[in-house]
Amino acid sequence: MITKNIIDSYIEKIPPSPKALKETLMLLNVGELTKASKVAQTDMALSSYLKNLVNRPIYGFKNEVTEISQIFGILGVSASQQAVYNYMISLLSPSKWKLFKLNSSSFRELQAELSRRWKNILEHLEIDNKDIESAITLLPASIIVSEALFCDKIKDINLLRSVNPIDLNTVLMRLCKVDLFDICEQIAYKWEMPQQIAEIIHAASGVKPAQDETTNLLGKWMHLLLFYTLSQPMFIEAELNDFIDFQIDYVGDIYDEFSQVMEIE
């Protein structure tokens, strides 16, 4: 169904990150918001993405924000960096989704919701680190990778799952000894994202706890946040709810705290 070669050629085909993006990220990294916004403006797709993103209801701005410099100013350094990473990930998303019932708008909604809530979580955990804040952007890459690898195998997958309740990540693991999150890690390397981002994403799979305590804790929060978000009607209907296995025991010890942060009654 899926072989190691298919995975390798998929990773091979991932384009390097565009020059303007690299420069924007580099400038954001050193805190040069004005210069970064000028570079970002040269990439039309990026500016349109950023405008679309921050004007979503979850960001809660009263008036429409249109200027890139304004956007970076409002978001601040870490959230701006996160927004640019979100854009990079969205570059990988297919023009037409086949496996999951998503479109570019609902995918952006997913990115926006994850990012926003991750920020709340990090505030609650009193963590102020822009790389950790950006880590959430890589999580939806696992969905894109699933779509890319399995979109032509929908019927096979459905038949297989009619006799055995296995999730896509396990199928991939058993067939190729590589899982979705390994592939996300490769993407992170290719795009020169900080090492810590890849490590947190690995822990967020719920099946590979990290050795480092903080990374593992962040992985737990991210795993639970993913399923909290995927429990929304919109994403259940997109058939995202069971694309990977929810490791309920892994997140058991942080659930009460999580429900406070998310204000679940």
Q: Does the footprint of other proteins cover residue 154 (CB under 8 A)?
A: no
Q: Binding other proteins by CB under 8 A: which of 23, 131, 212, 242?
A: 242
- Closest contact distance (angstroms) between CB of 16 and other proteins is 30
Q: Does the footprint of other proteins cover residue 1 (CB under 8 A)?
A: yes
Buried b (16+ CB within 10 A) or exposed e, 225-248: bbbbbbeeeebeebebeebbebbe
Residue type, 262: M
Residue 126, phi-psi category: left (phi > 0), alpha (psi -120 to 50), beta (remainder)? left
Q: Binding other proteins by CB under 8 A: which of 105, 248, 253, 260?
A: 248
The residue (of 116 and 190) whose beta carbon lies closer to other proteins is 116
Please give the Cα distance from 221 to 218 (Å, whole number): 5
Q: Does the footprint of other proteins cover residue 175 (CB under 8 A)?
A: yes
The residue (of 16 and 252) whose beta carbon lies closer to other proteins is 252
Q: Binding other proteins by CB under 8 A: which of 112, 168, 200, 224?
A: 224
Q: Does the footprint of other proteins cover residue 159 (CB under 8 A)?
A: yes
Please give the Cα distance from 200 to 196 (Å, whole number): 6
Q: Does the footprint of other proteins cover residue 48 (CB under 8 A)?
A: no
Please give the Cα distance from 20 to 48 (Å, whole number): 14
Q: Binding other proteins by CB under 8 A: which of 91, 160, 207, 210?
A: 160
- Closest contact distance (angstroms) between CB of 248 and other proteins is 5
- What does 10-65 look like in DSSP terms, one character per residue? HHHHSPPPPHHHHHHHHHHHTT-HHHHHHHHHH-HHHHHHHHHHHTSGGG--SS--
Cα→Cα distances 174→9, 46, 101, 115, 171, Å: 19, 38, 25, 31, 5
Cα→Cα distances 11→6, 35, 114, 125, 186, Å: 9, 32, 25, 34, 7
Q: Does the footprint of other proteins cover residue 257 (CB under 8 A)?
A: no
Q: Does the footprint of other proteins cover residue 245 (CB under 8 A)?
A: yes
The residue (of 62 and 177) whose beta carbon lies closer to other proteins is 177
The residue (of 42 and 105) whose beta carbon lies closer to other proteins is 105
- Closest contact distance (angstroms) between CB of 8 and other proteins is 15
DSSP 242: T
The binding site for other proteins (CB under 8 A) comprises 1-3, 153, 155-156, 158-165, 170-171, 174-175, 224, 227-228, 230-233, 236-237, 241-242, 245-246, 248, 251, 255, 259, 264-265
